A = this chain, B = another copy of it.
Amino acid sequence: MTDTAAPPTLDDVARLARVSTATVSRCINSPDRVAASTRARVETAIKTLGYTPNFAARFMAAKRTFTIGAIIPTMENAIFARGLQAFQEELHQRGYTLLVSSSAYKAEAEEEQIRTLVARGADGLLLIGHDRDPQIYDYLAQQHVPVLVAWSYSETARVPSIGFDNRAAMRSLAERMIALGHKRIAMISGISEQNDRARLRIEGVKDAMAAHGLDPERLAPVELPYDVHSGAAAFVDLMSHSPRPSLVLCGNDVLAVGALRGAHQLGLKVPEDVSITGFDDIELAQVVTPELTTVHVPHREMGRKAAQELVGMVEEKRQGVSEKLETTIMERSSVSILRDQSE
């Protein structure tokens, strides 16, 4: 589109200054918000090319803040950390700054944080999962703030999502465990109310049980906050039941690490005495002994793609396109084989 004869464009300035076009526009619109060293580089490029800021008029009319908001359920245990880090890196490359809020898994707190981020001028929002009061989506539509969901994928939801199929992923893991001979299955889940990830993972286990002649009603998942202490306590309790489960499926890696601690407290060996699995494949899964068999979620890919899609929605004023990402089962050392795997 540009050649040396044509007047220099914003793109030319950005290329010469080695910054994004968004950063160039920020230098012009709100220089106060750009680091001095970056501003100097952009100013040099503008002078070198003889770029006239008048060309930027259309860009300025966009009135963007170059701020994206994300609300995650928790900052603890790094469940969302890696995906969010990739989300932020990709946003940064496109000239956007990320502001994050953590709702502590509370719907009321999330609603307040959504309103705050909108009031503070966020150009777009990333939310985790689809389960929330429909009025929130009404509000965001009224405010013309694009919203994208991650960590969950739904074809039918009102807003687009870059995520994965929590139900199918957990079903795959449970089926693999059943194929290894596990029939006495227990589950320690996150709290499923207003948490589609937790709810769908329970459904996934039930799907697998039903498909293999086990009664899904016997699963009776325990629902607890996603923390190590809860996982340990729930595990100790489960082990007092008779007959004892041979396998405890956990709703995420944090609960599974708690279950490992519970086993340690009881003097039970994992996986010899009982098998334990997680979900997420965060770093925690590999620092514990034994390393956890879990479901690997492509956190970095999800974060990166979510940023690309959300910025596209903001800049091109278009509907977002959902994408389902693949998960994989990571078989490590926390599960025992109870019988010949051929069936």
Residue A343 interfacial (CB < 8 Å):
no
A120–B101 contact, CB under 8 A?
no
Q: How many copies of this kind of chain does the complex include?
A: 2
Closest to A82 in B: B76
Closest to A108 in B: B35
Known contacts A85-B102, A99-B120; 7 additional CB pairs below 8 A are A33-B119, A34-B115, A74-B81, A98-B102, A99-B117, A120-B121, A228-B287
Bits for A8-19, please: 1 = Cβ < 8 Å to B, else 0: 000000000000
Chain B nearest CB from A119 CB (Å) reads 5
Residue A284 interfacial (CB < 8 Å):
yes
Chain B nearest CB from A330 CB (Å) reads 16
**Interface of chain A, main secondary structure:** helix
Which residues of chain A (258-294) have a CB below 8 Å from chain B?
260-261, 283-284, 287-289
Q: How large is the interface on A (under 10, 10 to 19, 20 to 34, 35 or more residues)?
A: 35 or more
Residue A84 interfacial (CB < 8 Å):
yes
Closest to A96 in B: B116
Closest to A101 in B: B99
Residue A335 interfacial (CB < 8 Å):
no
Q: How far is the CA of A36 from the CA of B107 in the complex (A)?
A: 12
Closest to A142 in B: B32
A115 contacts across to B, CB distance below 8 A = 32-35
Interface of A toward B, CB cutoff 8 Å: 30, 32-38, 65-67, 69, 74-78, 80-82, 84-85, 88-89, 92, 97-102, 104, 108-109, 111-113, 115-117, 119-121, 135, 228, 257, 260-261, 283-284, 287-289
Chain B nearest CB from A270 CB (Å) reads 12
A35 contacts across to B, CB distance below 8 A = 108, 111-112, 115
13 chain-A/chain-B pairs, Cβ below 8 angstroms:
A30-B119, A33-B112, A33-B115, A33-B116, A35-B111, A35-B115, A65-B120, A75-B78, A76-B85, A77-B81, A78-B78, A85-B102, A99-B116
A116 contacts across to B, CB distance below 8 A = 33, 66-67, 97, 99
